[in-house]
Amino acid sequence: MLLSLRKDEWFGNVKDDVLGGVVTSIALIPEVIGFAIIAGVNPITALFASVSTAVVTSFTGGRPGMVSAAAGSMALIMVSIIKNHGIEYMIAATVLTGIIQLVLGYLGIHKLMKFISKPVMLGFVNALAILIFMAQIQQLVNVTTMTYVVVGVSILFMFFLPKIFKSIPPALIVIILTTLISMFSSINLQTVGDLGDMTGSLPTFSIPTIPFTIETLLIILPVSLGLTMVGLIESLLTLPLVDDMTNTQGNSHREVKSQGLANIVTGFLGGPAGCAMIGQSVINVKSGGKKRLSTLVAGLSLLLLIVFFKNTMIQIPTAALIGIMITVSFETFDWQSIKNIKQTAVSDVLIMMTTILIVVYTHNLAIGIFVGVFLNIILFTIEISKLTINQNEATLEIKGILFFVSSNYLIEYFKKIDLETIDKIDFTDLKVFDETSKSVLDDVIKKIEHKKSTILIMK
């Protein structure tokens, strides 16, 4: 059963969960509007989609405290289908994405996470932190001096307010103070209302009005597969990050199915696909949100802002949200991975840096992760292909894994060595991996057996 109503996952942290959820709902607004601008959908549509995604995952997700909504990484994949075929095809692609994710969840796709190593994980987290930072800096071009002042003050408040007000999230104080300044002063600041058209109505259940044909399937399937891949990768890599921040264990198997169900519901409500959002999840946890209640409050607070407090919501200065997100980017970045770089294996540093560069350059998490994992496999293969051959007087001891890569090294070694000087060869610690290496070892043994005095020690 996907629905979770366990008390320990919902209650026990009510005040902080409510405050964290409220802060997170406000922090979602610029990110989701940015999603809408990239994808080419109405901002209100994307905001309502974020409400449904957050609410569904709060009840069914595998990681209490993690926040899912309409993410920018997903928007990049939807651009072409919206531009070429329209919103209805995007909605169909969202529903299909959810179905694929749900099926993959029951098939146990989460188990593939064990192939993503620590260096790749660090590369992913650090790259996302850099992307969050870059997204904020891009908004600070050709702005007023007062905007820079508000951003700077917001950052200072985010760092120093927790030392004074330990029970109130600093982001909430920043948002309230700057909104009051925006509403009751003559200071010229860009607000949330300046980001896009905020008109729209509540979504209703509907089936996409598209022809249900093979041709339609061929149009939406590639998009859905891309959304599935990126959505699951981002969600499953955000989950352990929140685990570390809360010192608790999430359920990746459950999370995959939850993402699928959320996208099915969101699709039938006319919205775009979403996934876990690392920045907003960090804000939620840093603001005290650790239980399912915080994610539910985030979704419902966003709904209240859209429906009943829209006039107040559009007065929130974007400069304050930029300052908050810059702070989040610094807190998300794993600075320890840089401090310990001299003590870290060169191969691990190479994998981490490559993952960071690919993700930042392409703005595509899936490509970065795949390149990181592929490089990891290559470097690991090179490492295990090294056989250890110890010669102690007339005895040879051969250790390691013999497979198609290391087989050539063994052949070359026995071409060079003078077998007349060897009395004993120990193969006890040599592990034969495949048919190629078995054949090579048989050839080597035949060559050795021509020298009658040599003793072979095998398993």
Q: What is the pLDDT of residues 15-63, one digit of tens each?
A: 999 999 999 998 888 888 877 877 778 888 889 999 999 999 999 988 8
Q: What is the pLDDT of residue 1?
A: 64
Residue 315: is its pLDDT beyond 60? yes
- In the chain, list all ranges with CATH 3.30.750.24: 386-457
pLDDT mean across residues, the chain: 85
User: Percentages helix, strand, coil for the chain, rounded to the nearest 5?
Assistant: 70, 5, 25
Give 25: exposed, middle or buried? Use CB within 10 Å, 0-12, 13-18, 19+. buried
Best CA proximity match to 266, nearest among 81, 74, 77, 106:
74
User: 142 — alpha (psi -120 to 50), left (phi > 0) or beta?
Assistant: left
Q: What is the pLDDT of residue 264?
A: 96
Q: Report the percent of the chain where pLDDT is more than 90.
A: 28
CB 53 within 8 A of CB 274: yes
Residue 456: is its pLDDT beyond 70? no
- Structure tokens of 99? 């179905």
Residue 4: is its pLDDT beyond 80? no
Q: Backbone phi, then psi, for 149, in 5-degree steps? A: -65, -45
Q: What is the pLDDT of residues 64-105, one digit of tens each?
A: 999 999 887 788 788 888 888 889 999 999 999 999 999 999
Top-level class of domain 386-457: alpha beta
Q: Considering only residues 138 and 419, tell me which one the structure prediction assigns the higher pLDDT.
A: 138
Q: What is the pLDDT of residue 316?
A: 85
Could you tell me whether strands 395-402 and 424-426 are parallel, antiparallel, or unpaired per DSSP bridges? parallel
Q: What is the pLDDT of residues 97-153, one digit of tens each?
A: 999 999 999 998 888 877 788 898 889 889 888 988 888 888 888 888 999 999 999
Q: What is the pLDDT of residue 321?
A: 85
Q: What is the pLDDT of residue 89?
A: 92
Residue 187: is its pLDDT beyond 60? yes
How many whole angstroms separate alpha carbon 275 and alpha carbon 53? 8
Q: What is the pLDDT of residue 451?
A: 63
Tokens 């120093």 locate to 160
Could you tell me whether strands 68-69 and 275-276 are parallel, antiparallel, or unpaired per DSSP bridges? antiparallel
Q: What is the pLDDT of residues 371-399, one digit of tens each?
A: 999 999 888 888 877 777 777 777 778 78
Best CA proximity match to 28, nearest among 192, 197, 198:
192
Q: What is the pLDDT of residue 454?
A: 60
Stated pTM of the model: 0.78
Q: What is the pLDDT of residue 452?
A: 56
Q: Considering only residues 194 and 149, tell me which one the structure prediction assigns the higher pLDDT.
A: 149
Q: Considering only residues 428 and 108, tell me which one the structure prediction assigns the higher pLDDT.
A: 108
Q: What is the pLDDT of residue 455?
A: 60
Q: Which segments of 212-364 does DSSP mark as H helices, in order?
A: 214-246, 252-268, 278-286, 292-307, 310-313, 318-332, 335-339, 346-362
Q: What is the pLDDT of residue 56?
A: 95
Q: What is the pLDDT of residue 403?
A: 77
CA angle 437, 443, 447 (to 5 degrees): 140
CB 343 within 8 A of CB 110: no
Q: What is the pLDDT of residues 230-265, one digit of tens each?
A: 899 889 888 988 998 888 888 889 999 999 999 999
